[in-house]
Structure 1
């Protein structure tokens, strides 16, 4: 019987005594330095392959700004567009005149319904 619901205690998935022998040799790697606008240095490592170049820009894990390989000239932060409301999207699609015409049409329909409701109650 397993106590407290723990089937494998003190172990983790992938743990084994063989290490490198079981997984094979690690690929040769190179470390590339990136700097963000706040001066943070990020040093990710990449596989050393001839056909693959490291990316130009890397996101800084400390501040979230983009980081580049040129320490003296880091990339500028990306400007995010603010959240748009449904009304903002409607205003992009319709002019003021279209909006006024639609409002007048809806009000006329509503007034006609109210008149019909008032006469049916009398």
Structure 2
């Protein structure tokens, strides 16, 4: 028996050969965004969609906008601050000295009364 499979060369669940049954694709609009590293990104949007002013560059992660001559600057990265740095921002050295003096007087009074032993 000379036989063959009528579905040779296709896979299970494959659609018909030729034109897609889903119809035509929606009209698209390709917009160019530029980052400060000189990368150009062209995402596709629906033709009737509102295009955002900024887009993140997929290569470097920096913000990109529509103006190739003036791309947005990279965001400023603030360094990590310790708890002590935040305290020093809120209080002056004179205020800190006054608070320390008050705390030491309270501690010495508690030690004199026998509340704190060490």
Report the TM-score when normalising by structure 2.
0.67
Measure the CA separation in 2 of the matches of 1:58 and 1:45: 12
Measure the CA separation in 2 of the matches of 1:92 and 1:33: 43
Structure 2 SS opposite 1:104: helix
Q: Which has the higher helix share?
A: 1
Alpha-carbon shift at residue 109 of structure 1 (Å): 1.5
For residue 39 of structure 1, what is the aligned residue in structure 2?
A: 38
For residue 5 of structure 2, what is the aligned residue in structure 1?
A: none
Consecutive unaligned residues of structure 2, counting only runs of 5 or more, are: 1-12
Measure the CA separation in 2 of the matches of 1:102 and 1:16: 77
| Aligned match for 1:89, one of 86, 104, 108 | 86
> What is the root-mean-square deviation in Å for CA atoms of aligned residues?
2.9
Choose 1 or 2 for highest CA Rg.
2
| Alignment size in residue pairs | 101
Structure 2 SS opposite 1:82: coil
| Aligned match for 2:54, one of 34, 52, 57 | 57
Alpha-carbon shift at residue 60 of structure 1 (Å): 1.0
Q: 1:117 to 1:46 in 2, by over 3 A?
A: same
Report the TM-score when normalising by structure 1.
0.65
Alpha-carbon shift at residue 77 of structure 1 (Å): 0.9
Consecutive unaligned residues of structure 1, counting only runs of 5 or more, are: 1-14
